[in-house]
Amino acid sequence: MNKETIRLEELSIGYSIKKHHAKEVASHIQATIRSGELTCLLGENGVGKSTLLRTLSAFQPKLGGHIWLLGQEVESYTDRQLSRIISVVLTERCEIRNMTVRDLVGMGRSPYTGFWGRLAAEDWEIVDQSIRLVGIEALAMRMVHTLSDGERQKVMIAKALAQETPIIFLDEPTAFLDYPSKVEIMQLLYRLIQTTEKTIFLSTHDLDLALEIADKIWLMDRKQGIITGTPEDLALSGRLKSFFSGRGVVFDEDSGLYRIQVQYKYQIGIRGEGARCSMLKKALQRCGIRVTDQASAALPFIEVTPDTFILHAGEPSAYETIESLLQALRQISLPEI
């Protein structure tokens, strides 16, 4: 079941510098976020992703428009109420020494604890449940400062879960992580979206991961503001293609993912098929050599056999690895495009 939990109407965000001065970062934002859908915010550095997240979590005031959270404007909530509606995972690293993971996750219960902040038995139950949900039972008694960045990020997600809020905002949760950890965090969030009724909204720079895993994408851009949709719709409408246009990245419409743009200078033919063939194509592309299918007699070509690569340029010569083949290609002059 998914329903609309956040609605932005004509929202403009930014910083008010003096009383009548404001530096607008983005304006006329019109969008909704639904529960049960993983929503990813993409955009270049400095475009205002963090500002948007900070505004949505009421850390800083909006400049205009409306933010509706669960049917009420965000300003109508008190700080205390908000702490039970929104939980956050921030980019600021929690430099905390001598605190166990379980205690840190327990801090997520603060909005519910009394004056002294002591956790009751039910609170600890929720803490342990959150730890299980994120899959960090083995870390529970470890000190936070001994954890890796990826583990720490999971702890902060567990903290957000312990806060028992319907909405979770994450500001670049996959930054600074190694690739497997990035994937792990994204899959974890996806699992949470499916097993709980939560609304999860995160900003990220990991385009490919976001395009593969997210249900909804928000593209944030200085010129066009925010465009939302499923990754596939955005691909079909050409939005993804134009999003990074002219920045050394091209959008591969077959895979629906971005890849690095290459300037081709030479061309060559290939005969053969299978994995060896596609790897060879990839290597040639990287070297700026375009692979053509047209078998023109004048063009040199490479024949891919199960155990060698045979270069037909003048005398045929065989190479065992792509590395040695590339070396040989550098020695001869390939026809330019």
Partner 1 sequence: MRYTHTYRMLLILLLIVVLLLLNLLLGSVSIPAQSIWNILTGTGNEPVSWQNIVWKSRLPQALTALAAGAGLAVSGLQMQTVFRNPLAGPSVLGISSGASMGVAFVILLSGSLGGVALSRLGVMGEIALSVAAIIGSLSVMALIVYVSQKVKGNVTLLIIGVMIGYVSNAVIGVLKFFSVEEDIRAYVIWGLGSFSRVSGNQMMLFVTLMAILLPLSFLLIKTLNLMLLGDGYARNLGLNIKRARLLVIVSAGVLTAIVTAYCGPIIFLGLAVPHLARAMFQTSDHWTLMPATLLLGAALALICNLLARMPGFEGALPVNSVTALVGAPVVASVLFNKRKNDWNE
Q: What is the CA radius of gyration of the chain?
A: 26
CA distance 336 to 266: 4
Nearer to partner 1, 172 or 221 (CB): 172
DSSP label of 120: P
Task: Note whether 182 and 216 are within 8 A (CB).
Answer: no
Nearest to 65 by CA among 19, 34, 15, 30: 30
Q: What minimum distance in Å lies between the beta carbon of 234 and partner 1?
A: 30
Tell which positions 79-118 bind partner 1, by CB under 8 A.
79-80, 82-84, 86-88, 90, 92, 94-99, 103-104, 107-108, 110-111, 113, 115-118
Residue whose structure tokens are 């974890």? 188
Nearer to partner 1, 146 or 245 (CB): 146
Helix axis angle for 149-162 and 121-134, nearest 10°, is 140
CA distance 27 to 225: 7
Q: What minimum distance in Å lies between the beta carbon of 192 and partner 1?
A: 18
Q: What minimum distance in Å lies between the beta carbon of 205 and partner 1?
A: 19
Q: What minimum distance in Å lies between the beta carbon of 90 and partner 1?
A: 5
Nearer to partner 1, 60 or 196 (CB): 60
Q: Does 23 bind partner 1 (CB under 8 A)?
A: no
Nearer to partner 1, 90 or 299 (CB): 90
Which residue in the set 15, 59, 124, 264 belongs to the binding site for partner 1 (CB under 8 A)? 59
8 Cβ partners below 8 Å, 6+ apart?
29, 30, 31, 32, 56, 65, 66, 67, 68
Nearer to partner 1, 55 or 267 (CB): 55
Nearest to 208 by CA among 190, 191, 231: 231
CB atoms near residue 72 (< 10 Å):
12
Nearer to partner 1, 83 or 285 (CB): 83
Q: What minimum distance in Å lies between the beta carbon of 85 and partner 1?
A: 10
Element (H, E) at 73: strand 72-73
Tell which positions 115-144 bind partner 1, by CB under 8 A.
115-118
Q: What minimum distance in Å lies between the beta carbon of 103 and partner 1?
A: 7
Q: What minimum distance in Å lies between the beta carbon of 83 and partner 1?
A: 3
Nearer to partner 1, 56 or 304 (CB): 56
Tell which positions 154-193 bind partner 1, by CB under 8 A.
159, 163
Nearer to partner 1, 58 or 299 (CB): 58
Task: Note whether 10 and 171 are within 8 A (CB).
Answer: no
Cα 268 to chain centroid, rounded: 36
Residues at the contact surface with partner 1, assessed by CB under 8 A: 57, 59, 79-80, 82-84, 86-88, 90, 92, 94-99, 103-104, 107-108, 110-111, 113, 115-118, 146, 159, 163
